């Protein structure tokens, strides 16, 4: 008989109030909350204090579930930020389960986080549903003060290792705070990934991007007059393989352009005609030097792509080392 730790995690939504079961996780308090649905698990800091001055309520641990088993922690923090990484003066927080999956046959779990920012009220709901690889994140700011707030509100994805893909088509222009403008609709998602996992954050309303090694943020300029309410919605997507393809495909669905996706297929060969053994290929755009990597290593190589991402390149370390061993022959992708 299998031990409880090795039993497959079922494909319905459930939660537990206990320290995180995710390996290398940070939610180590007895009343922290873990929600899982067979595709992924997230742990929310009810008592554990998040890093970097963020009040309680953040997702501190998250991992895909593969063959019914939890994978190691892939993030350090995911949360809604009312005003980017400006100081967050908060006097209270309350973390509750608004919808218990035990009451809906495991179909849905909603975690409610109430906090304050200066004199405004901040409400964020993390929604996990059966059969869905995404956490839907819905946030609101209620300005109960007599001040007008100029905020850069949005979402942060901080990963635990791996690589990160910044927004597409960044032109380098920044505002007075150093935030990069996000003008292209294809630039409103960010991805963390490695060989056997990918986590994407989708925020289609984003105007700005900020980020560094291990963290990528998307913000929307938010001018909130007294009595006004601001609403935002994002999605956190989990995939158990190191490919950005499925993240892009889901993002296109979120912006209503899922039917504009196409496929590119071909084989990677040296210029001698000899096929490359297990190539690792990336999908990029003309003029960019660092395409994202697809570690699935399958031949023929296939990519789901929009017209903006149709250019396919092969330029990872694995391919360069094969290039050297082959006596300097150039490898090309043939459609």
pLDDT in tens, 98-124: 999 999 999 999 999 999 999 999 999
Right CATH number for 14-254 from 3.40.50, 2.60.40, 2.70.98, 2.40.30?
2.70.98
At residue 8, the pLDDT reads: 73
Please give the model's pTM, rounded to 2 decimal places: 0.81
Report how far residue 101's alpha carbon sits from residue 15's, in angstroms, rounded to the nearest whole number.
8
**pLDDT band for position 265 (cuts 50, 70, 90):** low
Q: Identify the three-state secondary structure at position 201.
A: strand
Report how far residue 311's alpha carbon sits from residue 315's, in angstroms, rounded to the nearest whole number.
13
**pLDDT band for position 2 (cuts 50, 70, 90):** very low
At residue 263, the pLDDT reads: 64
The pLDDT > 70 percentage for the chain reads 78
As a whole number of Å, the end-to-end CA separation of the chain is: 50
Q: Which residues contact 226 (CB under 8 A, 6 or more apart)?
A: 143, 145, 146, 147, 148
Q: Work out the average pLDDT over 82-87.
A: 93
Report how far residue 303's alpha carbon sits from residue 294's, in angstroms, rounded to the nearest whole number.
9
At residue 312, the pLDDT reads: 40
At residue 308, the pLDDT reads: 41
Whether the per-residue pLDDT at 181 is higher than 60: the answer is yes
At residue 172, the pLDDT reads: 74
Average per-residue pLDDT for the chain: 82
- CA-based angle 283:167:222, to the nearest 5? 160
Domain ranges of the chain: 14-254, 261-334
At residue 199, the pLDDT reads: 96
Residue 2's CB is within 10 A of a number of other CB atoms, namely: 8
Whether the per-residue pLDDT at 257 is higher than 80: the answer is yes
Which of 52-66, 165-179, 191-205, 211-225 has the least mean pLDDT?
A: 165-179
Chain centroid offset of residue 186 CA? 15
Question: In the structure encoding, which two tokens stand for residue 55, read together?
Answer: 């009040």
At residue 148, the pLDDT reads: 97
More confident residue, 40 or 335: 40
Q: In sequence order, what E strands does 37-119 have?
A: 40-44, 59-66, 69-70, 75-85, 93-99, 108-117
Report how far residue 187's alpha carbon sits from residue 285's, in angstroms, rounded to the nearest whole number.
13
Q: Which residues contact 288 (CB under 8 A, 6 or more apart)?
A: none
**pLDDT band for position 3 (cuts 50, 70, 90):** very low
At residue 6, the pLDDT reads: 57
Which of 58-62, 117-121, 173-177, 267-271 has the least mean pLDDT?
A: 267-271
Question: In the structure encoding, which two tokens stand for residue 248, read together?
Answer: 């892009």
Whether the per-residue pLDDT at 76 is higher than 50: the answer is yes
Report how far residue 218's alpha carbon sits from residue 80's, in angstroms, rounded to the nearest whole number.
10
Q: pLDDT tens-digit profile of 123-172?
A: 999 999 999 999 999 999 999 999 999 999 999 999 999 999 887 766 67
**pLDDT band for position 261 (cuts 50, 70, 90):** low
Maximum mean pLDDT: which of 3-12, 268-277, 316-325: 268-277
The pLDDT > 90 percentage for the chain reads 60
């Amino acid at each position: 008989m299998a031990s409880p730790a090795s039993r497959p995690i079922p494909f319905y939504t459930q939660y537990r109030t206990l320290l995180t079961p995710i390996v290398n996780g940070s939610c180590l308090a007895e009343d922290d909350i873990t929600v899982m649905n067979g595709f992924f698990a997230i742990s929310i800091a009810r008592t554990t204090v998040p890093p970097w001055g963020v009040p309680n309520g953040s997702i501190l641990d998250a991992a895909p579930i593969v063959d019914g088993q939890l994978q190691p922690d892939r993030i350090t923090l995911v949360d809604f930020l009312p005003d980017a990484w400006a100081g967050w003066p908060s006097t209270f927080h309350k973390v509750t389960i608004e919808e218990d999956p035990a009451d809906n046959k495991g179909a849905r779990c909603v975690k409610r986080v109430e906090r304050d920012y200066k004199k405004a009220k901040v409400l964020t709901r993390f929604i996990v549903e059966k059969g869905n690889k995404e956490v839907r994140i819905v946030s609101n700011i209620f300005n109960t003060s007599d001040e007008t707030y100029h905020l850069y509100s949005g979402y942060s994805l901080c990963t635990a290792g791996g690589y990160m893909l910044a927004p597409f088509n960044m032109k380098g222009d920044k505002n007075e705070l150093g935030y990069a403008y996000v003008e292209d609709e294809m630039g409103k998602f960010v991805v963390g990934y490695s060989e056997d996992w990918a986590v994407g954050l989708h925020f289609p309303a984003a105007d700005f991007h900020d980020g560094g090694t291990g963290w990528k943020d998307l913000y929307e300029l938010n001018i909130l007059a007294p009595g006004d309410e601001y609403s935002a919605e994002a999605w956190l997507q989990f995939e158990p393989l190191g490919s950005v393809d499925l993240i892009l495909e889901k993002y296109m669905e979120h912006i209503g352009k899922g039917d504009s996706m196409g496929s590119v297929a071909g084989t990677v060969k040296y210029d001698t005609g000899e096929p490359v053994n297990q190539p690792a290929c990336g999908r990029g755009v003309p003029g960019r030097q660092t395409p994202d990597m697809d570690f699935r290593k399958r031949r023929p190589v296939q990519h789901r792509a929009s017209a903006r991402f149709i250019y396919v390149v092969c330029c990872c370390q694995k391919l360069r080392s094969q290039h050297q061993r082959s006596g300097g022959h150039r490898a090309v992708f043939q459609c």
